[in-house]
Structure 1
Amino acid sequence: MDLKFVQELIDLVSRSPIGELQIERDELRVRIAKQASAPQAGSPLQAVPVAGATAAAPSDATVARHAIRAPLTGMFYRSAGENEPPLVSVGDMVEEGRKIGVLEAMKTFNVVESDRAGRIVEIAFEDHAAVQSGDVLFVLEEAG
């Protein structure tokens, strides 16, 4: 079982209403569970070791991923204003410092910028979603 497959399982669980997934393949057992303290959409996941499970060593071909998190609690917007296109979409390359989203908190609009260069591989929330401080908003594959 490779790390890409495990990441796909994590992504599947994070987007679905299920709380836990366990799978066994080639003498390897993986259990992925949403943390009980964060039941809302976009909640963090944890890979939990299972008795008797062995982990494959990461390959050199593994692409580093980086989560960009909400700096504060508020309303998440994908565009800079009404009737404007989203600032970024999945697959877009971004540079460090690029404006990629907006958070509204207490009638104040706060810019969400990419804190490093990379390709957007996941946008965790829909436009106009309520988010909590620390929620993952975007996932980047880091530029080499």
Structure 2
Amino acid sequence: MDIKDIQNLIKFVAKSGASEVKLEMEDVKITIKTGSDDAKETTVVQQIPISQALPQAPAAQPVAPTTPAAPAEPKDENAKYITVKSPIIGTFYRKPSPDKPTFVEVGSTISTGDVLCVIEAMKLFNEIESEVSGKIVKVLVDDSSPVEFDQPLFLVDPS
């Protein structure tokens, strides 16, 4: 089970209204608790060392990919750019750590799979990779700012 599967599970539990869900598989134990006050969520993930895990058959069902970046609103001058949006709720960081350089700057040329930023969600730092190739035109979020699901982060010129 990868981080995207866990994030999708958290979203599903939050929407379902369940107060607690426990999932135990051969190599992972997950407990998700949702409280009624301010809809806060608590997730505990424990991974059993691989030496203890039983061998598994390959997964039969493919994991649905995250939503691809959608074009910006066609009514303004940014219509020709692709908007890279946040796949999760969390805190946006442009650097891997405070003493390291930023992942991308305005004018940086990127290709599919390049890391654009990290988003911290529940003490986990999730690398956000580009789903398009092109040139960064604009960074839409300040460093260390909270971001919402599907919030625009970058404008990319695909040409």
TM bucket, shorter chain: 0.5 to 0.7
For residues 106 and 94 of structure 1, do their structure 2 counterparts lie closer, same or farther at Cα, with a shift above 3 Å needed?
same
Shift of residue 110, structure 1, vs aligned partner = 0.4
Highest RCO, 1 vs 2 (Cα 8 Å, sep ≥ 6)? 1
For residues 63 and 137 of structure 1, do their structure 2 counterparts lie closer, same or farther at Cα, with a shift above 3 Å needed?
closer
Preserved contact between residue 63 and residue 142 of structure 1 (Cα < 8 Å): no
Does residue 107 (structure 1) correspond to residue 123 (structure 2)? The answer is yes
For residues 47 and 98 of structure 1, do their structure 2 counterparts lie closer, same or farther at Cα, with a shift above 3 Å needed?
closer
Give a deviation string over 1:10-48, Cα, whole Å, max 9, x none: xxxxxxxxxxxxxxxxxxxxxxxxxxxxxxxxxxx9688
Q: Over aligned residues, Cα RMSD in angstroms?
A: 2.2
Q: Which runs of 5+ in 1 are unaligned?
A: 1-44, 49-61
Shift of residue 64, structure 1, vs aligned partner = 3.0
- Percent sequence identity over aligned pairs: 30
After TM superposition, the score normalised by the length of structure 2 is 0.50
Does residue 121 (structure 1) correspond to residue 134 (structure 2)? The answer is no
What does residue 114 of structure 2 align with?
98
Letter in 2 for 1:89: E
Aligned equivalents of 1:124 and 1:102: distance in 2?
14
Q: Which runs of 5+ in 2 are unaligned?
A: 1-71
4+ residue segments displaced more than 6 Å: 45-48
Larger of the two Rg values belongs to structure? 2
What does residue 69 of structure 1 align with?
85
Preserved contact between residue 76 and residue 127 of structure 1 (Cα < 8 Å): yes
For residues 121 and 46 of structure 1, do their structure 2 counterparts lie closer, same or farther at Cα, with a shift above 3 Å needed?
closer
Aligned length: 86
Letter in 2 for 1:71: P
Letter in 1 for 2:144: H
After TM superposition, the score normalised by the length of structure 1 is 0.55
